[in-house]
Amino acid sequence: MAIQVGRWKRWVVIASVLGAIPVVSIAQSQSFASQTAEATPTGYTAPVSLTGDDIVAKMLERNRLRNEQLRRYSAVRTYVIRNLEGKLAAQAVVRVDYEAPDKKTFNKTSEKGSGIVRHLVFDRLIQSEAETSSGREHHNSAITTANYTFTLSGEEDAGPYHCFVLDAAPKRKDKYLFEGKIWIDVNDFAIVKIAGHPAKKPSFWINRADFVRQYQRIDGFWLPYLDETSVEVKLYGRRVFTVNHEQYVINPPNPLEAETGDTGDPD
């Protein structure tokens, strides 16, 4: 019985860490520690008069405009937790439906693995995201100059996208903030990738927690592509948590629009 209780407590710790990570996903719409410390290109010169704060300001404005045009989307997410050897601990496949301005609904289509892990980690993440999007749960964690100091450190490619690379330093020790890097597309001023670790150690039991979140451009919108979180737990080892975001369908007409021909767009 003591072994069972101890295991349950350790997963609670993991769940508490993972519960903080999604807040990093900012601005409406995670490869680990060694990749978050990429070197600044030697001899890099920032574009004339362009600072980290300028880039973030442009990003926030572009995101606002994109969000105004994003009426609805659906996607399929696969949540997976594995141990260091790759053995599956738990998995859930979830359909996500977003309706502007702030409604998200989640429907599980399949599950396997540990029920305790699915409940403590996956269910908590889904609940937290639903509450955050609707404003019922609020954390001052946005990627803004109020929460971070941004330094433009260079440019590099992140997959098919050419990006500005910014160092993000949190202005306070807060588990809902992170320390790391942000890759922002030079043309769209959209976040392509975020990598780092929580600004405040989530728990005594956690040796380290690192995350990478990647985005993809679909029909002019930037939406999550892959989240990876690695958590090192004392006495229990490393666990790797991933979320794959696939099968996006963006701005389809709803049944009422299809019948009336009203798409909500101005003439």
Report pLDDT digits (tens) over 30-49: 222 223 333 334 455 556 67
Does residue 265 lie in a domain region?
Answer: no
Strands, E, within the chain: which ranges?
72-83, 88-99, 103-113, 148-158, 161-170, 178-185, 191-198, 206-218, 221-233, 237-250
Size of the chain in residues: 267
Does residue 190 lie in a domain region?
Answer: yes
Residues 105, 106, 109, 115: what is their CA dihedral angle, to the nearest 10 degrees?
-150
Does residue 77 lie in a domain region?
Answer: yes
- Check residue 235 and give its pLDDT: 67
Is pLDDT above 80 for 247?
A: yes
- Residue 91: φ, ψ to 5°: -150, 145
What distances in angstroms separate CA 47 from CA 44, 51, 137, 154, 241, one per listed residue? 9, 8, 39, 10, 37
Between CA 52 and CA 152 the distance in angstroms is 5
| Backbone CA torsion sign across 126, 230, 11, 174 | negative
Q: What confidence tier does 259 reach under pLDDT thresholds 50, 70, 90?
A: low
45 contacts 232 by C-beta, under 8 angstroms: no
The residue with greater pLDDT, 254 or 138, is 254
Mean pLDDT over 156-180 rounds to 93
**Closest Cα to residue 11, out of 176, 198, 262, 239?**
239
Q: What is the number of domains present in the chain?
A: 1
Is pLDDT above 80 for 115?
A: yes
- Check residue 170 and give its pLDDT: 94
- Check residue 83 and give its pLDDT: 80
The residue with greater pLDDT, 117 or 196, is 196
Alpha helices in the chain (DSSP H): 2-20, 52-69, 115-117, 124-134, 255-260
- Residue 101 preceded by cis peptide, ω within 30: yes
The residue with greater pLDDT, 95 or 9, is 95
Q: What confidence tier does 237 reach under pLDDT thresholds 50, 70, 90?
A: confident
Between CA 234 and CA 8 the distance in angstroms is 14
- CA angle, 142 then 135 then 199, to 5°: 30
**Closest Cα to residue 24, out of 176, 172, 227?**
176
The residue with greater pLDDT, 234 or 42, is 234
Does residue 163 lie in a domain region?
Answer: yes
Does residue 43 lie in a domain region?
Answer: no
Is pLDDT above 90 for 203?
A: no
Does residue 219 lie in a domain region?
Answer: yes
Between CA 196 and CA 227 the distance in angstroms is 12
Burial label, 105 (beta-carbon count in 10 A; 0-12, 13-18, 19+): exposed
The residue with greater pLDDT, 236 or 188, is 188
- Residue 27: φ, ψ to 5°: 50, 40
- The domain in which residue 96 lies consists of 2-37+50-252
Does residue 26 lie in a domain region?
Answer: yes
Does residue 267 lie in a domain region?
Answer: no
96 contacts 224 by C-beta, under 8 angstroms: no
